[in-house]
């Protein structure tokens, strides 16, 4: 599902008229989540999953055109681990 599809889904589900208002609400959620990750490095949504900020080490990259191997820069990425309840919902096992 793309961002546009999600916005249309959210808009239809909540019977909202304004596309901008829906996008603003979704952006606000992501802003708050990213700010919380900066402070705590881990955000847990009970039964849904965990957002974590992890460090990715540099790694060796070989491209046949290059004469020598190069290394990527270490960076921080955000990982999401789905919780038990979210997995059940995605698989259709949960009672609605």
Q: Report which DSSP code applies to 74.
A: P
Please state the separation of Cα 78 from the chain's center in Å. 7
Closest by Cα among 79, 61, 80, 63 to 71: 61
Closest by Cα among 29, 44, 53 to 83: 44
The answer to pTM > 0.85 is: no
- The whole-angstrom separation of Cα 74 and Cα 65 is 23
Is residue 24 pLDDT above 70, yes or no?
A: yes
- The whole-angstrom separation of Cα 62 and Cα 75 is 19
Structural contact between residues 94 and 85, judged by C-beta atoms closer than 8 angstroms: yes
pLDDT tens figures, 32-80: 999 999 998 899 998 899 999 999 999 999 989 988 999 999 999 999 9
State the Rg of the chain over Cα. Answer: 19
Structural contact between residues 45 and 67, judged by C-beta atoms closer than 8 angstroms: no
């Amino acid at each position: 599902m793309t961002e546009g599809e999600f916005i249309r889904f959210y808009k239809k589900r909540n019977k909202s008229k304004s596309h901008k208002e829906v996008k603003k609400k979704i952006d606000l959620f992501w802003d708050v989540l990213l700010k919380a990750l900066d402070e705590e490095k881990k955000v847990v949504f009970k039964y849904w999953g965990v957002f974590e900020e992890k460090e990715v080490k540099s790694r060796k990259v070989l491209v046949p055109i290059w004469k020598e191997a190069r290394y990527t820069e270490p960076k921080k990425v955000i990982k999401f681990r789905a919780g038990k309840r979210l997995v059940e919902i995605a698989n259709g096992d949960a009672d609605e």
